[in-house]
Amino acid sequence: MGKVYLVGAGHGDPDLITIKALKCIREADIILYDRLVNKDLLEEAKQATTLIYCGKLPNNHTMKQEAINALLVQCGKQDKIVTRLKGGDPFVFGRGAEEAEVLVENGIPFEIVPGITSGIAAPAYAGIPVTHRDYGNSFAVITGHGVKGKPSNINWGGLVKGVDTLVVYMGVGNLPYICQSLLNNGKSSDTPIAIIHWGTKTERRTVTGTLSTIVEIVKREKIENPSMIIIGDVVKVREKIAWFKEANLVESQWLLTGESV
């Protein structure tokens, strides 16, 4: 019997992959990869490696999770090295735990290889620290998309009262609901917010605003998934330390007042 590696490929920029993850790609006989994995990384695989695409678009899954689980088991029972390649980190909204559970149930050896998650990488490339001594001593990562669309089971009140910075995955489609939920639970309408599209890739775009203005800004600028949402005073730091020049020289960035620059 072979072995399965559940691998985080990092976020966007292929240089963000870890050394161990790169070894897993180079040694694999079979690679099952997701939509957000940078395709340049697949060029590191052996010529004889079998590549299987398991990508998912919102509401359009090439392969459902149950089918991916079954395929992992099928491949894992062969005398081969199998690399399950995921964007970011396999355990941060990557459903890696579910896949690991299936492997355990079928007695298939596996390892977890952590990766740099988009909730940290994307804001870092945008010049936004998720923690800062003056602006944020705590942060939480939450999903912006639930099984039935809106993430209705989130404790918005607890987040407003207990966390300085919110990092929201998969939330652009539900942005009005997210902003209103925070406002309804006492978050100030002037709270800074940033939306970062394609995080660490060269075509990255960032827009900023407040909880009361960001929905219209995103609509006007046509920001779509995949994008990260950062909510909190740490967004203010971007004005000082933004270091990665975005593809468009005239950035579609907005000041916290909603004015274009």
Task: Report the catalytic residues.
Answer: 34, 56, 170
Cβ–Cβ under 8 Å, residues 12 and 38: yes
Neighbours of 121 (CB within 10 A): 22
Rounded to the nearest 10°, the torsion over CA 149, 154, 160, 165 is -70
Peptide bond into 14 cis (omega under 30): no
